[in-house]
Amino acid sequence: MLKLLIADDEVIERLVLEKKLKKYYSEECQILVAQNGRQVLEIYDRECPQILILDIEMPGIDGLEAARQIRKKDKMCSIIFLTAFDEFSYAKAAITVHALDYLLKPCDDHELISACDEAIRLAHAAASRPQEGTAEPADSSGGADFPQTLSSQEVSEEQPEEEQRQEEFRAYIVQHYMEDIAVKDIAGYFGYSEAYFCKRFKQYFGHSFVSYLTDYRMQRAEELMRGSSMSIKEIGRSVGYPDPNYFTKVFRRVRGVSPSGFRDLKKQ
């Protein structure tokens, strides 16, 4: 069973989040809880969770600092940041963390569950691969020094190109959706910090990058179930889910019916 750690210094926020995640993931994850960054580090050293959901604004050791210290030990765990503030001044500080997603409080349930689904998918994929040490995955940015923020002049100059950039984001997903796309990969490809990219993506599409990616994968799976004789296992693998059981769980969660049930309905 995977381990998922929640950290939030607000009691009500923490309890709501814990209850919500236990509802969806009690069979797949042991849910661990921390009240601050210090506890995050203590629990991580003891339990080694594969997934961390961290509030950024916590007293003492905040979520970013806890994540930075964990990244020195573990390059592969999935880190999801929560913040109550719609501002990304922490983008430069977060650049070495390589988070899976940045979510704004109050967190949209669909975006939260999509982020957790993706983190679990990545954990399953990592477990199925041969162990090759803890080296960090290759950085698709090629070592370039990308900008962390945009000046007001840069924003005004790029405004006429917003529609084009939106289409470029969409095209990247269409080309790479079957791969293990991390936020750092697509953000680095377009020359943005991860946090800024996440903010801009949501402005364009109304969804977080990870939830949009999950929905697109499910859409492609539906198309294959309608128009091909591929097995459910083959379809899951073709849209990025090597574990057929987990593909079925995610499809059911997103579409409200199992893949085989969906295929049967389309035959009627």
How much is the pLDDT for 96? 65
Cis peptide before 147 (omega within 30 of 0): no
Average pLDDT across the chain, whole number: 83
User: Which range has the worst mean pLDDT, 89-98, 157-166, 175-184?
Assistant: 89-98
The percentage of the chain sitting over the pLDDT mark of 70, rounded to a whole number, equals: 83
For the chain, the domains span 2-128
How much is the pLDDT for 126? 81
Question: If you average pLDDT over residues 47-72, what whole number do you get?
Answer: 93
Considering only residues 89 and 164, tell me which one the structure prediction assigns the higher pLDDT: 164
Has residue 114 got a pLDDT over 60? yes
How much is the pLDDT for 139? 39
Structure tokens at 94: 């977060």
pLDDT digits (tens, 9 = 90+) for 94-112: 556 888 888 888 888 999 9
Question: 3-state secondary structure string, 148-161?
Answer: CCCCHHHHHHHHHH
Which long-range CB contacts under 8 A does 164-167 form with residues at least 24 apart? 165/190, 165/204, 166/204, 166/205
Cα–Cα distances (Å) from 148 to 22, 44, 170, 190, in that order, read 36, 29, 22, 12
pLDDT band at 69 (very low <50, low <70, confident <90, very high): very high
pLDDT digits (tens, 9 = 90+) for 199-240: 889 889 998 999 999 999 999 999 999 988 899 999 999 998
How much is the pLDDT for 92? 54
Has residue 183 got a pLDDT over 90? no
Question: 3-state secondary structure string, 178-245?
Answer: CCCCCHHHHHHHHCCCHHHHHHHHHHHHCCCHHHHHHHHHHHHHHHHHHHCCCCHHHHHHHCCCCCHH
pLDDT digits (tens, 9 = 90+) for 27-46: 899 999 999 999 999 999 99
How much is the pLDDT for 113? 94
Considering only residues 93 and 260, tell me which one the structure prediction assigns the higher pLDDT: 260
Look at residues 242, 110, 244 and name the one whose alpha carbon lies nearest to residue 179.
Answer: 242
Cα–Cα distances (Å) from 68 to 85, 199, 201, 235, in that order, read 20, 21, 24, 37
pLDDT digits (tens, 9 = 90+) for 142-159: 333 433 333 334 444 445
pLDDT band at 138 (very low <50, low <70, confident <90, very high): very low
pLDDT band at 83 (very low <50, low <70, confident <90, very high): confident
Name which CATH class applies to 2-128: alpha beta
